[in-house]
Structure 1
Amino acid sequence: MKRVTGIGGVFFKCEDPAKMKEWYGKHLGLPVTEWGASFRWRTVEDPEKVGRTEWSTMKNDTDYLQPSDKPFMINYRVDNLVALLERLKAEGVQIAGEMQEFEYGKFAWIMDPEGHKIELWEPPAEEPL
């Protein structure tokens, strides 16, 4: 079973998320919006299939990264989140919370050995352009 298929996003804490988005937009050309930036791409295996990688700033006091006290979280794309979670549980990996499902995909969280929270994302079959 394939586990991680790519990077789904990078999220990090900062003092002033709006100022940081503005800086990254101005100086590095990130296509920032209210939520961050989305990078659209096509897969090598199927060039008709669209994917995306998200980038977002968060306030230092966000609880979204808890129980981690680290200032960032990486989101990894996966093909079959339910099966992967079953395998990870069997391997003794710490699961953080319950899987959640939205129109933009399924999400679950795990912790690495050094306390980094990792987000796992199974995108919907068809991702919007």
Structure 2
Amino acid sequence: MAKVTGLGGVFYVVKDPAKTRRWYAEVLGLTGEYGPQLAWADEPHEAPYSLISHFPDEEYIRPGTGGFMINLRVDDCDSMVEQLKSRGVEIVGHVDEGYGKFAWLLDPDGVKIELWEQVETPDDVSPR
């Protein structure tokens, strides 16, 4: 039986695609032929995963204005936050939840970016 194997991408409309691509390259170091591209080969956890999460309202997405958020896995959230701050990027939140560290920023189009460092592998997530 065929199955979904992972997140293929996030697609959304922006006013200036070239400007947004430059921001992702310069601020987050993400580049690729068709836009910011992620490779999962270097994940340190036994069961890394991507998540499609649904919210009843836009509270968690705020202060983003796009009605959605992009979650990006990072290897060291604290260092990434310091690196971004040194480049003049505003961090709109930063927290350690125990199971993971999170930080938030907005891209130039007002889309909320959530940075996530997976600290432990959840018991209920296993390769299938």
Global fold match (TM > 0.5): yes
Distance 1:123 1:56 in 2: 16
Q: Which residue number in structure 1 is paired with residue 87 of structure 2?
A: 91
RMSD across aligned C-alpha pairs, in angstroms? 2.5
Equivalent of 2:46 in 34, 42, 49: 49
The amino acid of 2:49's aligned partner reads R
The amino acid of 1:105's aligned partner reads G
Distance 1:48 1:117 in 2: 25
Instruction: Judge conservation of contact 2:72–2:113 (CA < 8 Å) in 1.
Output: yes
Q: Is residue 101 of structure 1 aligned with residue 96 of structure 2? A: yes
Deviations 1:88-112 (A, max 9, x none): 0011112112x11123200010111
What displacement does 1:58 show?
Answer: 1.6
Q: Give TM-score scaled by structure 1 length.
A: 0.58
Secondary structure (helix, strand or coil) at the match of 1:82 reads helix
Q: Give TM-score scaled by structure 2 length.
A: 0.58
Q: Which runs of 5+ in 1 are unaligned?
A: 1-6, 11-42
Q: Which runs of 5+ in 2 are unaligned?
A: 1-6, 11-39
Identity of aligned residues (%): 40
Higher strand fraction: Structure 1 or Structure 2?
1
> Which of 1 and 2 has higher RCO (CA within 8 Å, sep 6+)?
1
Distance 2:91 2:43 in 1: 32
Count, aligned residues: 87
Q: Which residue number in structure 2 is paired with residue 27 of structure 1?
A: none
Secondary structure (helix, strand or coil) at the match of 1:86 reads helix
Distance 1:77 1:112 in 2: 16
